[in-house]
C-alpha cells in the first residue's frame, strides 16, 4: 500500500505529463488547422462529431462547447453510425472524427461511407499516417508521446489532447463569429452563469419595495418607512432625485448619540451622495460595487430619477453570488 506522499507524487507526475503533452500541441498547429476552421466557419451545415470509446466521450464535450459558442453541432457515435445513424449527416454538414490511432475497425467502416456522400471530413488524431489521417480532408494533429497510464494503455493524455484541440477549434470559431457575452447568455439562460450574463439591476429592484422619505421627514416616520419596506434602508429624495440614504446602521448610531430625536429630520442623519447604480446595469455590476465598498444595499436610478433598491440578499437569492 502506497503512503500519502507516494500518492501525491503520482498525481503530480500525471498532471506534469499531461501539461507537457498539451504544451507540445501548439507546435503541431499548422495551416491545415486554419483551413479546417475556415471550412466550418463558411459551411452552411452543422458539425457532426463522431468517435468511439473514450474519444466518443470527448466528442460529446466538444459538441457541447461548439453549441454553446455559436457553432451548431451534433454527436454521432461511430458504432451506431453503421446501424442507421449515418442518416444524421446532411448535405452541407462537416464531419469531425476523433480517434487516437485512426485505425479502429469502426473508423475504417464509416470513413469511406462519409467520403462516398462527399461530406468534408476533419480528423483529430494522434496518428496522421493512419487510415483516418490518410482519408481525411484535414488532419488536426493530437499526437502525444505517451499516456499518463503507467502501462501506456488507458486513454488519458491522448483524450486530454483531443479535448484541447477541440477547444482550440471552438474558440477560433467563436472569434471569427464575433461571439459576445450577450450571445453567450442566449445559449445559457439558466443557472447562475446565465443570470450573470443577462440579469439586470432593474430585474431585481423592480420587484422590491421603494422606500423613500423627504429631507424634512421626521425620524419617527423614517423608522416606520424602513421597517415597513423591510430593506434596511431608505432613500432620501427631493423631486424624486436621490440626495441621501439612511440605513439601519445610521439609526443605531443616532440613537447611541442622542436621547431626544423628536426635532431631528431625515436630512440631519442621512449620508449625502450615496453610492448608486443605473437600473439598466447588469446585476453582477451591482455585486462588484457592493463588494468594493463593503455595503449591502445600493440605490437604483433610472435616467437620474430614484428607481428603487437592490439588496445583497437579492443577489444571493438569484444565485449571482
Q: Is residue 90 part of a domain?
A: yes
Ligand-binding annotation for 183, yes or no, is no
Q: How far apart are CA 270 and CA 250, in angstroms?
A: 7
Instruction: Say whether both 243 and 99 belong to one domain.
Output: no
Averaged pLDDT, 238-255: 92
Express each pLDDT in 255-308 by its tens digit.
888 888 888 999 999 999 999 999 999 888 998 999 999 999 999 999 999 999
Q: Provide the grid cell at 279.
A: 437600473
Q: How far apart are CA 283 and CA 319, in angstroms?
A: 11
Q: Is residue 191 part of a domain?
A: no
CATH number at 210 reads 3.10.580.10
Instruction: Say whether both 160 and 224 belong to one domain.
Output: no
pTM above 0.75, yes or no: no
Q: How many CB atoms lie within 10 A of CB 311?
A: 20
pLDDT grade for 195, boundaries at 50, 70 and 90: low
pLDDT grade for 188, boundaries at 50, 70 and 90: low
Instruction: Say whether both 19 and 141 belong to one domain.
Output: yes
- Asked if residue 183 has pLDDT above 90, the reply is no
To which H or E segment does residue 206 belong? none
Instruction: Say whether both 148 and 213 belong to one domain.
Output: no
Q: Which is more confidently placed, 67 or 82?
A: 67
Q: How far apart are CA 22 and CA 163, in angstroms?
A: 10
Q: How many domains does the chain have?
A: 2
Locate cell 494503455: which residue?
A: 153
Instruction: Say whether both 141 and 97 belong to one domain.
Output: yes
Q: Is residue 185 part of a domain?
A: no
Q: Is residue 195 part of a domain?
A: no
Instruction: Say whether both 9 and 134 belong to one domain.
Output: yes
Averaged pLDDT, 106-130: 93
Q: Is residue 271 part of a domain?
A: yes
> What was the pLDDT predicted at 20?
93
Ligand-binding annotation for 77, yes or no, is yes
CA distances from residue 132 to 27, 51, 221, 260 in whole angstroms, order as listed: 21, 11, 79, 88
Q: Which is more confidently placed, 68 or 246?
A: 246
Ligand-binding annotation for 16, yes or no, is no
Q: Which residues, listed in sequence order, are joined to residue 300 by a DSSP beta bridge?
A: 277, 308
Q: Which of 244, 243, 209 is nearest to 225 (CA)?
A: 209
Ligand-binding annotation for 268, yes or no, is yes
Locate cell 489521417: which residue?
A: 133
CATH number at 11 reads 3.40.50.10490
- What is the residue-wise DSSP string for 154-203? SSSHHHHHHHHHHHHHHHHHHHHHT--HHHHHHH--SHHHHHHHH-BHHH
Instruction: Say whether both 143 and 18 belong to one domain.
Output: yes
Instruction: Say whether both 145 and 225 belong to one domain.
Output: no
> What was the pLDDT predicted at 319?
76
Instruction: Say whether both 127 and 263 belong to one domain.
Output: no
Q: How far apart are CA 69 and CA 186, in angstroms?
A: 10
Q: Is residue 262 part of a domain?
A: yes
Instruction: Say whether both 164 and 36 belong to one domain.
Output: yes
Instruction: Say whether both 67 and 154 belong to one domain.
Output: yes
Instruction: Say whether both 165 and 29 belong to one domain.
Output: yes
Average pLDDT, the chain: 90
> What was the pLDDT predicted at 60?
96
The single-letter DSSP state of residue 74 is E
Q: Is residue 184 part of a domain?
A: no
Q: How far apart are CA 61 and CA 67, in angstroms?
A: 10
pLDDT grade for 200, boundaries at 50, 70 and 90: confident
Express each pLDDT in 49-72 by its tens digit.
999 999 999 999 999 999 988 899
Domain that holds residue 301: 201-317
pLDDT grade for 321, boundaries at 50, 70 and 90: low
Q: Is residue 192 part of a domain?
A: no
Averaged pLDDT, 2-19: 91
Q: How far apart are CA 140 and CA 149, in angstroms?
A: 23
Q: Of the candidates 146, 179, 212, which is a domain's last residue?
A: 179
- Asked if residue 158 has pLDDT above 90, the reply is yes
Amino acid at each position: 500500500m502506497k503512503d500519502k506522499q507516494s500518492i501525491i507524487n503520482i498525481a503530480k507526475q500525471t498532471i506534469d505529463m499531461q501539461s507537457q503533452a498539451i504544451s507540445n500541441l501548439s507546435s503541431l498547429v499548422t495551416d491545415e488547422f486554419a483551413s479546417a476552421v475556415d471550412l466550418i466557419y463558411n459551411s452552411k451545415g452543422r458539425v457532426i462529431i463522431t468517435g468511439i470509446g473514450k474519444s466518443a466521450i470527448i466528442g460529446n464535450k466538444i459538441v457541447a462547447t461548439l453549441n454553446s459558442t455559436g457553432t451548431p453541432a451534433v454527436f454521432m457515435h461511430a458504432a451506431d453510425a453503421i446501424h442507421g445513424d449515418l442518416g444524421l449527416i446532411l448535405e452541407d454538414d462537416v464531419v469531425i472524427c476523433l480517434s487516437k490511432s485512426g485505425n479502429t475497425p469502426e473508423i475504417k467502416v464509416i470513413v469511406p461511407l462519409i467520403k462516398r456522400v462527399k461530406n468534408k471530413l476533419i480528423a483529430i488524431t494522434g496518428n496522421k499516417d493512419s487510415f483516418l489521417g490518410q482519408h481525411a480532408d484535414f488532419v488536426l494533429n493530437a499526437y502525444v508521446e505517451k499516456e499518463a497510464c503507467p502501462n501506456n494503455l488507458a486513454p488519458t493524455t491522448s483524450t486530454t489532447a483531443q479535448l484541447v484541440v477541440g477547444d482550440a477549434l471552438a474558440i477560433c470559431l467563436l472569434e471569427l463569429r464575433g461571439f459576445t457575452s450577450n450571445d453567450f447568455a442566449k445559449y445559457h439562460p439558466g443557472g447562475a452563469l446565465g443570470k450573470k450574463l443577462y440579469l439586470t439591476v432593474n430585474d431585481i429592484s423592480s420587484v422590491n419595495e421603494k422606500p423613500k422619505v423627504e429631507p424634512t421627514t421626521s425620524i419617527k416616520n423614517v423608522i416606520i418607512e424602513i421597517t415597513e419596506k423591510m430593506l434596511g434602508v431608505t432613500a432620501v429624495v427631493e423631486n424624486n432625485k436621490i440626495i441621501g440614504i439612511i440605513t439601519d446602521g445610521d439609526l443605531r448610531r443616532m440613537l447611541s448619540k442622542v436621547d431626544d430625536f423628536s426635532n431631528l429630520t431625515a436630512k440631519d442623519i442621512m449620508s449625502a451622495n450615496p453610492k448608486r447604480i443605473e437600473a439598466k446595469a447588469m446585476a453582477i455590476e451591482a455585486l462588484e460595487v457592493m463588494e468594493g465598498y463593503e455595503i449591502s444595499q445600493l440605490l437604483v436610478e433610472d435616467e437620474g430619477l430614484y428607481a428603487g433598491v437592490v439588496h445583497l440578499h437579492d443577489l444571493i437569492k438569484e444565485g449571482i453570488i
